[in-house]
Chains A and B, each alone.
Chain A
Amino acid sequence: MSQEPGGRRKAELRAWTATGESFHRLYNSAPAGRRPLSTRFLEGLPVPLLQFSRLRKAYATTVAVDDVTFEVRPGEVFGLLGPNGAGKTSLLRMLIDIMAPDSGEILFDGRPLGPAERERIGYLPEERGLYRKEKVVDILIYFGMLKGLSRRAARERALRWLDRVGLQGVANRRAESLSKGMQQKVQIAGTLLHDPQILVMDEPFSGLDPLNTVLVKEILRERREAGALVILSTHQMPMVEELCDRVAMIDRGRLVLYGDLEEIRRAHGGSAVLVGTDADLAGLPPVAAVERQGGLRKVWLREGARPRDLMAIIEERRIPIDHFEVARMSVEEIFVTTVRARAADPAAPPVVAPAAAGGKA
């Protein structure tokens, strides 16, 4: 246990955060007389910008979101993952206030989400489009004005963002005359016009070529550096791996995985080892399965077995190896493993990795 002042409280706080409850929220909801006099122990701990608390949303025959609790912090790229129909879009629509939850709440900076907060959110939905018959600049001006900008400011920013996404000279073209990728970039420009504090992007890379994908990744990183919170919902796991600091995974409406991406990967590591050898490892006691991976063999360990158990047997039997590495699971593998495990045991509690502060460099 940490010996630093307030270390125990910090540990408790991390534990609370890990279960999805925000200490800040608990602190603020406590009667004034029962709050600790000093909040110094909170220093250095990240304050959540968004808190999803026990959200539930049901449609006629299905429960789209079922008792989901997690929080998101400023200056991070937060991945919202899940298979098709998991409830991600419903969750985002509740955040945008397009639909109301049946129960639970979403807090923005500790306050219930209202019209003022909504203006600080930029949303790029998965189902998106433009007014086909209208000029690009007019569409962007309208989007900007709906977010509270004046006509002049909206126009200036529209031209600036069009320039930034490489669409110089299309301002006066009708949307229908643009390619799908160009329309996609116009939509992204529309989302960023009002310099939102929270960017919610649902599949922002779909329909983009590799060059434009790089461009959008750059923009997202810039926004994060500028202190914005980016919520990224995508099926493209390499993007999650590359961009996200923390993730939440939803399956069949329930939170199944939540926390710092590195921690999650570490937690899921150790169940496989990469070994460079020609020997047959399949029959060794800790080994569950072996598969080829390039010039190496990926050895899946039985439940409860650790890499060092395998290493001990290899040493004991003097099996020649030239490479031994604990395999880190890719996000895609974690995704698949988690969804399959969930299918086998729907009542299993969510896997929550300790929430680490800070973002990626």
Chain B
Amino acid sequence: MSKVPVVIAREFLSTVRRRSYLIVTIGMPFFLGTYVSLVGFLPAYFMTQAGRSQKPVGVVDLAGLVRLDEAQVIGREDPGAGQAARVIADRLGPASAQGRGVAALLEEIDSPVEFQPVATKEEALQRLQAGTLQRVYLLPADYLGTGAIETYQADAQIFGLGKAKIERLFARVLRRSLSAGRLPDEFRARLDRPINDQASSSFVVKPDGGVEPLQDAARVARMAVPGVFALLLVMSLMTSASYLLQGVVEEKENRVIEIILSSVPPRDLLFGKLLGLGAAGLLQLFVWVSLASFATSLLAAAAMAILDWKLFLFCFLFFIGGFLMMGSLMTGTGAMGTNARESQQFSAIWTLCLVLPPAMTWMLIMDEPNTWLARGLSWFPLTGPITMMIRLGTGKVAAWDALVALGCLAAGVYLAIRAAAALFRLGLLMYGKRPTLSEIARQLRRA
């Protein structure tokens, strides 16, 4: 009979009953809250920077009333206004509603958006495809009556950075254009509400030139599912790894390991520890995620699962594969250390292997998810899980591509567990001394 369930139960229960586990589980959300707010500041900063270097926005004016020179005026209308606004913003404080309003005004002054007139819709769409425009607004001939506009964006733009700001600016341009001409009385209401959101529509221009209605919610959810899984993978590895190493080092230092190995083969012991301590780590993560109000993301992910079960399934499989592979490698190499600190240092290498390459290339991958760089990183088992989660979020990965990555990951898991079990066996029986490289190589050859 397999001893894996016995090991799983023991490892899980002995871990979750520890006082230190309970303290960390309850105390971490407070720490995490602070950390997330700090880390959240940086992407916000970079998004602002990205807004400053955006491409022009095209305007196709079939209604014949937009005065684009007004857009330049908005930024220059009063050179002293910016200075005054800064003083006011400082006095109001950034947290107040007025302060935020003034800050938004400042942002518009500091980073004006360039609007360019385009004669026809076809030309605008071609330029959008060519990447010389970031977005196109089309005012139909009946705009004055309906307030409806059409917005076009390229498919590669996942979220459309600075979209709200551009729309706000365009609304101001429209308002100024409307007020500059002689507006018939029946259209006066347009001044208050230059864009009728209900009547307006947004479209995505596909790389093949096709045009599809934009479904923002679905796009966000499509990114959210892999995003949540990637976050879960990294966090669960970080939390479980410490328990895995603690468990291994404790058994090694207490000299219990030889008794245990006389009853359980190293591979079963490794697997049992991985699942038992992984479950303890996931339970802790679940508590943190719930307490930190990330539950909504999970609910969104669950909702998305109903919408796109294939995406959810792929993400789940990459999560499990990634956890098993990295966890076993961490435990295997962790067993080689002569003490807890050394074990942690050895195992940290794997976290870096998992996270670093995708972290350095994620923007490239999101822009172009089907390059050979993206594929290479996806098919290489160590970087595959996170890279594939990034790629899957773009919705542009072919099924065969994901299956190849999954196959490579499965092979990686198999080899990792075999190699880790061999290292585990070798490392666990060496008390107070490290195995030599030739011993490690010999053991790995046997595995």
Q: Which residues of A contact B (CB under 8 A)?
A: 59-60, 93, 96-100, 115, 118-119, 121, 123-125, 127-134, 142-143, 145-148, 187, 190-191
Q: Is the interface of B mostly helix, strand, loop or mixed?
A: helix
Whether A60 pairs with B429 at a CB distance below 8 angstroms is: no
Whether B254 pairs with A146 at a CB distance below 8 angstroms is: no
Whether B6 pairs with A130 at a CB distance below 8 angstroms is: no
Q: Distance (Å) between the CB of A254 and the closest chain B CB?
A: 22
Whether A60 pairs with B431 at a CB distance below 8 angstroms is: no
Whether B439 pairs with A99 at a CB distance below 8 angstroms is: no
Residues A143 and B263 in contact in the complex (CB < 8 Å), given A98-B425, A99-B429, A131-B14: yes
Q: Which residue of chain B lies nearest to A191 when distances are taken between CB atoms in the complex?
A: B259
Distance A280 CA – B259 CA, assembled complex (angstroms)? 57
Instruction: List 25 contacting pairs A-B, 8 Å CB cutoff, sorted by A.
Output: A60-B438, A97-B262, A98-B258, A98-B425, A99-B425, A100-B446, A118-B263, A121-B262, A123-B258, A125-B255, A127-B255, A127-B431, A128-B255, A129-B255, A129-B256, A131-B14, A131-B254, A131-B256, A133-B18, A143-B263, A146-B7, A146-B263, A187-B259, A190-B259, A191-B259
Q: Which residue of chain A lies nearest to B254 when distances are taken between CB atoms in the complex?
A: A129
Name the residue among A121, A125, A143 with the largest chain B CB count within 10 angstroms.
Answer: A125
Which residues of B are found within 8 Å of A98, using beta-carbon distances?
A: 258, 261-262, 425, 429
Name the residue among A97, A99, A128, A146 with the largest chain B CB count within 10 angstroms.
Answer: A146
Whether B256 pairs with A118 at a CB distance below 8 angstroms is: no
Whether B436 pairs with A127 at a CB distance below 8 angstroms is: no
Whether A148 pairs with B425 at a CB distance below 8 angstroms is: no
Contact of B6 among A119, A132, A146, A187 (CB under 8 A): A146
Distance A93 CA – B438 CA, assembled complex (angstroms)? 21
Distance A127 CA – B261 CA, assembled complex (angstroms)? 12
Residues A125 and B262 in contact in the complex (CB < 8 Å), given A134-B14, A146-B3: yes
Distance A123 CA – B256 CA, assembled complex (angstroms)? 12
Bitwise interface map of B from 1 to 19 toward A, beta carbon under 8 Å scored 1, else 0: 1010011001000100010
Which residues of B are found within 8 Å of A123, using beta-carbon distances?
A: 258-259, 262
Which residues of B are found within 8 Å of A191, using beta-carbon distances?
A: 259
Query: Interface size on B (CB < 8 Å)?
Result: 28
Q: Is the interface of A mostly helix, strand, loop or mixed?
A: loop
Distance A265 CA – B225 CA, assembled complex (angstroms)? 77
Bitwise interface map of B from 228 to 267 toward A, beta carbon under 8 Å scored 1, else 0: 0000000000000000000000110011101111111100
B442 at the interface (CB under 8 A from A): yes
Which residues of A are found within 8 Å of B254, using beta-carbon distances?
A: 129-132
Distance A130 CA – B436 CA, assembled complex (angstroms)? 28
Q: Distance (Å) between the CB of B52 and the closest chain A CB?
A: 57
Distance A155 CA – B446 CA, assembled complex (angstroms)? 39
Whether A142 pairs with B10 at a CB distance below 8 angstroms is: yes
Which residues of A are found within 8 Å of B263, using beta-carbon distances?
A: 118-119, 143, 146-147
Q: Which residue of chain B lies nearest to A194 when distances are taken between CB atoms in the complex?
A: B263
Name the residue among A97, A98, A147 with the largest chain B CB count within 10 angstroms.
Answer: A98
Closest 6 CB pairs of A and B: A129-B255, A146-B263, A123-B262, A129-B254, A125-B258, A96-B262
Name the residue among A142, A187, A190 with the largest chain B CB count within 10 angstroms.
Answer: A142
Q: Which residues of B contact A (CB under 8 A)?
A: 1, 3, 6-7, 10, 14, 18, 250-251, 254-256, 258-265, 425, 429, 431, 436, 438-439, 442, 446
Known: A125-B262, A131-B250. 12 other contacts (CB 8 A): A60-B438, A93-B258, A98-B262, A118-B262, A119-B263, A121-B262, A124-B259, A127-B255, A129-B254, A129-B256, A145-B3, A147-B263
Which residues of A are found within 8 Å of B18, using beta-carbon distances?
A: 133
Q: Which residue of chain A lies nearest to B440 when distances are taken between CB atoms in the complex?
A: A60
Whether A93 pairs with B429 at a CB distance below 8 angstroms is: yes
Which residues of A are found within 8 Å of B442, using beta-carbon distances?
A: 60
Contact of B439 among A60, A134, A146, A187 (CB under 8 A): A60
Which residues of A are found within 8 Å of B431, using beta-carbon distances?
A: 127
Which residues of B are found within 8 Å of A131, using beta-carbon distances?
A: 14, 250-251, 254, 256
Distance A147 CA – B1 CA, assembled complex (angstroms)? 10
Distance A190 CA – B436 CA, assembled complex (angstroms)? 33
Whether B1 pairs with A148 at a CB distance below 8 angstroms is: yes
Distance A129 CA – B258 CA, assembled complex (angstroms)? 9
Name the residue among A118, A127, A132 with the largest chain B CB count within 10 angstroms.
Answer: A127
Q: Distance (Å) between the CB of A132 and the closest chain B CB?
A: 6
Which residues of B are found within 8 Å of A96, using beta-carbon distances?
A: 261-262
Distance A84 CA – B125 CA, assembled complex (angstroms)? 84
Name the residue among B3, B256, B262 with the largest chain A CB count within 10 angstroms.
Answer: B262
Q: Distance (Å) between the CB of B43 and the closest chain A CB?
A: 42
Which residues of A are found within 8 Å of B7, using beta-carbon distances?
A: 146
Q: Which residue of chain A lies nearest to B435 when distances are taken between CB atoms in the complex?
A: A60
Which residues of B are found within 8 Å of A132, using beta-carbon distances?
A: 254
Which residues of B are found within 8 Å of A115, using beta-carbon distances?
A: 265
Q: Which residue of chain A lies nearest to B269 when distances are taken between CB atoms in the complex?
A: A146
Q: Which residue of chain A lies nearest to B431 when distances are taken between CB atoms in the complex?
A: A127
Q: Distance (Å) between the CB of B273 and the closest chain A CB?
A: 13
Whether A125 pairs with B250 at a CB distance below 8 angstroms is: no
Whether A97 pairs with B265 at a CB distance below 8 angstroms is: yes
Distance A187 CA – B1 CA, assembled complex (angstroms)? 24
Distance A133 CA – B6 CA, assembled complex (angstroms)? 19
Whether B258 pairs with A127 at a CB distance below 8 angstroms is: yes
Which residues of A are found within 8 Å of B259, using beta-carbon distances?
A: 123-125, 128, 143, 187, 190-191
Whether A145 pairs with B429 at a CB distance below 8 angstroms is: no
Whether B6 pairs with A142 at a CB distance below 8 angstroms is: yes
Which residues of A are found within 8 Å of B258, using beta-carbon distances?
A: 93, 98, 123, 125, 127-128
Which residues of B are found within 8 Å of A124, using beta-carbon distances?
A: 259
Which residues of B are found within 8 Å of A145, using beta-carbon distances?
A: 3, 6
Q: Distance (Å) between the CB of A12 and the closest chain B CB?
A: 37
Q: Distance (Å) between the CB of A98 and the closest chain B CB?
A: 5
Distance A93 CA – B254 CA, assembled complex (angstroms)? 18
Which residues of A are found within 8 Å of B251, using beta-carbon distances?
A: 131
Which residues of B are found within 8 Å of A119, using beta-carbon distances?
A: 263
Distance A168 CA – B261 CA, assembled complex (angstroms)? 28
Distance A96 CA – B261 CA, assembled complex (angstroms)? 8
Q: Which residue of chain B lies nearest to A124 when distances are taken between CB atoms in the complex?
A: B259
Which residues of A are found within 8 Å of B260, using beta-carbon distances?
A: 146
Distance A145 CA – B3 CA, assembled complex (angstroms)? 8
Q: Which residue of chain B lies nearest to A121 when distances are taken between CB atoms in the complex?
A: B262
Q: Distance (Å) between the CB of A229 and the closest chain B CB?
A: 16
Which residues of B are found within 8 Å of A134, using beta-carbon distances?
A: 14
Q: Which residue of chain B lies nearest to A175 when distances are taken between CB atoms in the complex?
A: B254
Which residues of A are found within 8 Å of B261, using beta-carbon distances?
A: 96, 98
Distance A147 CA – B442 CA, assembled complex (angstroms)? 30
Which residues of A are found within 8 Å of B446, using beta-carbon distances?
A: 100
Which residues of A are found within 8 Å of B425, using beta-carbon distances?
A: 98-99
Q: Which residue of chain A lies nearest to B263 when distances are taken between CB atoms in the complex?
A: A146
Q: Which residue of chain B lies nearest to A202 when distances are taken between CB atoms in the complex?
A: B258
Distance A28 CA – B375 CA, assembled complex (angstroms)? 57
